[in-house]
Chain A
Amino acid sequence: MTQCPACRLPLGEGDYLALAIHLVDRADASDSPHVRWLNQNLARQRTDPADLVGGLRKVYDLGSGTIKDWIKSKFISKFFGANPHPFVVALQHPSRSTLLGYVVEHQHFLRQWVRSCSFIMARTDQPSVVLYELDNLNTEFGGFGPSRVSHYELLLRMGESLDLARSQVLATPPLPATRAALEEWNEIATREHWVAVLAAMHSLELIANRNLVDVGASVRYFDPAILRGSEITDASKNFLREGYEADVGHSDEALALVAQFGTRPDLLEEVQSTFLRSIDLFDDYLLARLERATQFEA
């Protein structure tokens, strides 16, 4: 089944004309997510639905690669292209305010992460997926005891090392843009096929996958030189290093599971559309981290 990549409306499998008609119809109504998707993925000039079909087919075409390659390629062009995402630019050599913006918004993201991944576990019939999610959730949120604390705990410690009390972090509600993204990720988790949710959520861990520079990314998530020296606090290094080391495995393993379970013809396009929507939400969410950062600027 094809889905609209802007609103996830289900459409017929491979029916790119129906998708084009829907996109143009919603764009004619000035609906922002649809206009945005057309602007960023197909064309900035209005055209008729029939003229969009070829472009849509190209967007969804895996070419000679796999779904894993396709997801990586789309992710790289959105976040690590010639003009990388502004948060990635800011994180190369981050200021205190950038890191605090990260802390305050990301605690909300990680709490939603638990909910989203739990839905995958609840709905999958595959033990390998459950085991993957259990390990991921312990790494990200639960931890493995005092000697190996979670990414969530490391995040809060990063905030404390920058003089932001965890009580203040935990008491701060998300910015509206973060809240909107989290609400839609929650809806995706509860409504879409578990393989689509797996792709939508774990593809986001590609952001810290340092190996993407080997397949076309213009930069890494941050300059690894900041893990040495005294540019950032030790707690910040611990937090960033954890993602730097864990997210190669997390994202690659999850995408291998997507490739294993998500390539049924009737499921593949649903996986692709849900992923495309998820990276738009992630784009918005990363901007919200920068928006929060401005509150900590002198």
Chain B
Amino acid sequence: MKRNYSGCAICDSTWGNLWEDVEGERMFFCCDVCLTQFRRLVDRVKRETGWSAIEALEIEGDRRGRRCLAASGEARFRFRIAFNSLGEIRAFERLAVG
């Protein structure tokens, strides 16, 4: 999965030392809450789009809420997502792709 972050897959922090397989790829996370967030994000995007895989993901924002653009082939899916303190999704909104 092509991503715009080189640190933690969801927040870009370089603290921590958690490496986990997500979608067949070894990814770095700063903590288990971020790992949960990322897994929930991927599952939700796949459910909303029907895609079998996310090929690229751009994330902007912070813990207050993130705006994201996911891609699979030529298809694009833009959304806003926010999590609770345990890493579970508490808000999800589809945005217009523009």
Contacts and interface: CB of A to CB of B under 8 A. Distances in A.
Contacts of B55: none
B84 A30 contact: no
B30 to A, nearest CB: 5
Contact of B13 (A35, A83, A175, A283): A35
Contacts of B17: 28-30
Interface residues of A, number: 29
A32 interface: yes
A294 B92 CA distance: 11
A288 B31 CA distance: 20
Interface of B: 7, 11-18, 29-33, 62-65, 82, 84-86, 88, 90-91
B15 A44 contact: yes
A39 B30 contact: yes
Contacts, number: 71
Contacts of A175: 84
Given A177-B84, A177-B85, A291-B84, A35 B15 contact: yes
Given A32-B33, A39-B13, A294 B85 contact: no
A253 interface: no
A291 B30 contact: no
A31 to B, nearest CB: 7
18 contacts: A29-B17, A30-B17, A30-B18, A30-B29, A30-B32, A32-B32, A35-B13, A35-B30, A40-B63, A44-B12, A44-B14, A45-B13, A46-B14, A85-B64, A86-B65, A288-B85, A291-B84, A294-B91
